[in-house]
Amino acid sequence: MRYKLIEGSLNDERNVEVTILRNRGIKNINRFLAPGESDTYSYSMLDNIDEAVKCAEKHIQNKDRIHILIDCDVDGYAAGSMVYRAFKKIDPNLNITYSLHTKKQHGLSKDITIPDDCKLLIIPDAGSNDVEQCRELKDKGMDIIILDHHICDIENDYAIVVNNQMCRYPNKNFCGAGIVYKFLEALDEELWEDTASGMLDMCALANISDVMDMREPETRYYVLRGLAKIRSKLFKALIDKQSYSMNGIVNITSVQFYITPVLNAMIRIGDQDEKDLLFRAFIETDEVFKYKKRGETEEVDESIYDRAARLCSNAKARQTKEVTKEVTEVERLISDKRLDENKAIFANVTGILGETLTGLVAIKIAEKYNLPTLLLRRQAPRENGELFYGGSCRNFDNSPIESLKKELLNTGLFEFVQGHDNAAGFSIARDNVQAAISCINNNWKDIDFQAIWQVDFDKNAEDIDVAFVKAIDDMKDMFGQGVKEPLVHISHIPVYKESTMIMGKNLNTWKTIYNDELAFVMFSVDRDKDQIIQEYENEEETFDSLLGYMDVVGKATLNNYKGILTPQIIVKDYEFTKA
C-alpha cells in the first residue's frame, strides 16, 4: 500500500473543514460554503445570446414548427426538456417536436433526421462542431440555435452558437443545461415570462451528471438552489425509487451515485420506446398506465414518472449484468495477448464489446489493472480507404498520470481525443496504433503505476476519535466533482479477534472495532487472499487474542442503520502485521 499526504495539508484533526477545503484548492472558504446571487454572471456575457433570443421569439410568434435535438446523456435530456417545457409554457399550442439518438452519438449524427418543415432547430448540449450538417440544413431554410458548452475551435457560420467556451463568459464549468438556463433567463426578460426559475432542479441534475466542477461558485450556487427545491415530477419519482440507497439524503453525492447512473443506463441501453417514454417524463406529459406488479392479480395505475423510474432501475440492473459479462471477455483478451505488459492497455474490442458500454468497461479494466486503458473499435473505412479505430479511454483513481487526454494528444498520433482529462473518446489511424503503444511505453518507462492514495490526514490510531469522524461526515453535502471525499491514513490499529467479525452473504466483508467506538469495515474482499480473514479463521488461541496491527487508508463516515449512527472508516486499502 502506497500513500502520500496531500502537499501542503494542515493534517489537523481539530480543524477538519479548513484542512479538507484548502486541500481542494479552495481559498475563499466562506464563498464556497455560502455562494450567492452575486456569484452568478449575466447572460449578456454570452456571445450571440441576443440573436438567439430574437430568433426564438420570431418563430414562437409565427407559430412555426420547432424541432429540438436531444443529446444522448442526462445533460442532453435535461437541457432539451427545459427548452421544450419553457416554450410550451410560453405558448401551449406551439408545434414542437424532438429527436432522440438511437445509439451513443452526439449532435447531428447520421442517425438523426430533421423534419423538412422545421423552421427552427434547437440543439442543446451539442452541435458546435457540426458545421457541414448545419450548412445543409441552413440551405433548406432552417434557423439553428446551438446552446452548448463543449470546447470547439472552429467557427460555425450557419447557426447561432451560444457557447460559454467560445466567449468571455467567465464560468467554463457550466454544462449544456446551464447554458439553456441562461438562454431562458434572456428569453424571459424579452417576453416578460417566467420559465427559467422553475427549472433550476433540472439545471442542478445536469451539472451534477455532467461532472461539472463544484468549486465553481456560480455552478455550485445553482446546483444548491436546484436541489433545495425539486419541482420535476420525474426527479421526485427517481428519488423515491432510490430512497433506500440514498438513505433519505438528497445532495450532490447521492444524486451523482444513485440518480445519474440509472438515467445513464436507460439512455445507453434502453430501446427507443423506453427512451422516448423517459423523455416524455422529463417534459411532464402526465400520462397514466396500467401496471400489474409481480405476484399481484390486480392492475393498478402507474404514472409515467413512476414507470420511467422503474424502467431506469431495471435498465441499470441489466447494464450491470452486461458490464460484468463484457469485463470478463476483455480480461480474457488482455490475458491471452498479454496486453497488461505495456504501460497502458490498448485492447481491440471490435466484435467483443457493445458500443454503448465501452466507457463503463474501460474504467473497470483501468481500476483492476491500475493502468490507463484504451478500448478500440474498428470503424468503417473512410472514403479514401483509410482505416481508423474509435473508442474510449479511461484512467484509474490515484493514477500518477494527471491527464490521460493530454498525454495521448502529446504523442501526435491521435486524430482527436475529446472529453474530460481522464475519461474521453478518441480516434486513431490503424497504422498509428503500434506507434502510439511504443511512444507511451517510452514516455512512461520510469513511472510506477501502483496506485498512490492521496490522503488529507495521516494519523496514528490514538489520534482518531468519534468527533473527527463526525466532523468529516458533517461535510457530506459539500462533496462533489472537484471536492472529493477525503481519505485518511491511520496507523497502528490493533486488531483483536473478539472485536472482529466476518459478515455478508459470501462472508467476504470484515469489521473490527477499535477502542469500543470506531468501526473499520472493508467490503467485498478476496477471501482467499485477505490477511485479516485468514488470520481470523486460522487463529486457534483464546477469543480475545491480538491478531496483529493494521495501517489503513479509508473514508470516514457515520453509518446510519435504522436510525442508529455508528462512526466508521470504510477501508479502501490496508497493510497488516501479524502479532
Bridge partner residues of 162 (DSSP): 147
Please give the mean pLDDT across all residues of the chain: 94
- Is the model's pLDDT at 543 over the cut of 70? no
Look at residue 540 in the predicted model and tell me its pLDDT. 67
CB 122 within 8 A of CB 68: yes
CB 264 within 8 A of CB 208: no
| CA-to-CA separations, 457 to 3, 487, 517, 522, in angstroms, rounded | 11, 7, 20, 19
Look at residue 56 in the predicted model and tell me its pLDDT. 98
Could you give the angle at the alpha carbon of 389 between the alpha carbons of 402 and 440, nearest 5°? 35
Backbone dihedral region for residue 39 (phi beyond 0: left; psi -120 to 50: alpha; all else: beta): alpha
Q: Kindly report, residue by residue over 164-184, the tens digit of the pLDDT.
A: 999 999 999 999 999 999 999
User: Averaging pLDDT over each range in 102-106, 198-202, 244-248, which range is the top one?
Assistant: 198-202
Domain boundary among 211, 231, 251: 231
Q: Is 453 helix (H, G, I), strand (E, B) or coil?
A: strand
Q: What mean pLDDT is predicted for residues 260-269?
A: 96
Look at residue 541 in the predicted model and tell me its pLDDT. 58
Look at residue 106 in the predicted model and tell me its pLDDT. 77
Residue 302 sits in the same domain as residue 353: no
Look at residue 111 in the predicted model and tell me its pLDDT. 76
Look at residue 553 in the predicted model and tell me its pLDDT. 98
Residue 82 sits in the same domain as residue 113: yes
Domain boundary among 428, 444, 460: 444
Q: Is residue 486 part of a domain?
A: yes
Residue 109 sits in the same domain as residue 207: yes
DSSP classification of residue 388 = E
Mention every residue, 6+ apart, whose C-beta is less than 8 A from residue 325. Answer: none
Residue 240 sits in the same domain as residue 359: no
Q: Is residue 252 part of a domain?
A: yes
Q: Is residue 327 part of a domain?
A: no
- Is the model's pLDDT at 110 over the cut of 80? no
Residue 223 dihedral angles phi and psi, to the nearest 5°: -65, -45
Q: Which domain holds residue 353?
A: 344-444
Q: Is residue 276 part of a domain?
A: yes
The number of folded domains in the chain is 4
Residue 355 sits in the same domain as residue 304: no
User: Alpha carbon 357 to chain centroid distance?
Assistant: 14
Domain boundary among 314, 332, 367: 314
Q: What mean pLDDT is predicted for residues 535-564?
A: 85
* pLDDT > 90: percent of the chain: 84
Residue 97 sits in the same domain as residue 177: yes
Q: Is residue 331 part of a domain?
A: no
Q: Kindly report, residue by residue over 491-503, the tens digit of the pLDDT.
A: 999 999 999 999 9
Q: Is residue 200 part of a domain?
A: yes
Residue 237 sits in the same domain as residue 102: no
The CA distance from 263 to 316, in Å, is 8
Q: What mean pLDDT is predicted for residues 22-43?
A: 97
Q: Residue 271: what residue type? A: D
Q: Is residue 337 part of a domain?
A: no
- Is the model's pLDDT at 279 over the cut of 60? yes
Q: What mean pLDDT is predicted for residues 131-141?
A: 92
- Is the model's pLDDT at 38 over the cut of 70? yes
CATH number at residue 433: 3.10.310.30
Residue 381 sits in the same domain as residue 518: no
Look at residue 544 in the predicted model and tell me its pLDDT. 66
Q: Kindly report, residue by residue over 325-340, the tens digit of the pLDDT.
A: 999 999 999 999 999 9
Residue 556 dihedral angles phi and psi, to the nearest 5°: -95, 130
